[in-house]
Amino acid sequence: MSVVADELSFTVSESIGPVPALLVAPRDAWAVCVLAHGAGAGMRHPFLEEVASSLGAAGVTTLRYQFPYMEKRRGRPDPPAVLERTVRAAVDCTRAHTDGLPMFAGGKSMGGRMTSQAAAAEPLPAVLGIVFLGFPLHAPGKPSTSRAAHLARVPVPMLFVQGTRDDLAEIERMRAVTAELGARATLHVVEDGDHSFRVLKRSGRAAPDVMNEIRDTVVAWMRSVASGRDGRN
């Protein structure tokens, strides 16, 4: 499938200024996903590059973007209000460039969490669902579910892709969180995966196998959510 990649930018606010974005668009796209990066790596991190490429091959346009602190090369993430405002601006930018495609949003680790916090505060326009690629439920070695408290206020379906060896989200705690959210939450478990979805050699799987699993899971879930939306209209 032919894919077009464009470098864009959008303004978060007058005081914060512009941040860059990358739009990867298959010519026959059927959906779009807005992807935010994790706390320690920007939009060009190899994992997000692979996610965008893999989704693109399956007909999903992606828009990746930088949070302001990452673009300015500051070590500490911006305050949540700034991160959430950036999520909203990224969604608006995507809407302006994708001509009404069914839209999803989310991202890796912190990026997914900030997307859901923005949606919990106020629905994200046109976003049908949120994809978490490793939801950071708690700090390493400090099991807790407090970071999930806002998820009950997210008004759209959510997909959680989680590794069983993720030290930022004990899998049984994630099972409990998603069970409490009910039908709005879908949990897909990547066996032997850590927070970066690296698997143990003894699993018999290589990185491309895991990426294919993640892609197939995300695409199938998106199709299901988009189909349900169409059925209600």
Domains in the chain, CATH or no CATH each? 3-232 (3.40.50.1820)
| Pairing state between β 31-36 and 158-163 | unpaired
> pLDDT-based confidence at 75, cuts 50/70/90?
confident
> pLDDT-based confidence at 177, cuts 50/70/90?
very high
Q: pLDDT tens digit string along 17-74?
A: 999 999 999 989 999 999 999 999 999 999 999 999 999 999 999 999 999 999 999 9
| Pairing state between β 3-13 and 17-26 | antiparallel
pTM of the model: 0.94
| pLDDT, mean over the chain | 94
pLDDT score, position 2: 57
Q: Where are the alpha helices (DSSP H) in the chain?
A: 46-57, 68-71, 80-97, 110-121, 171-181, 207-232
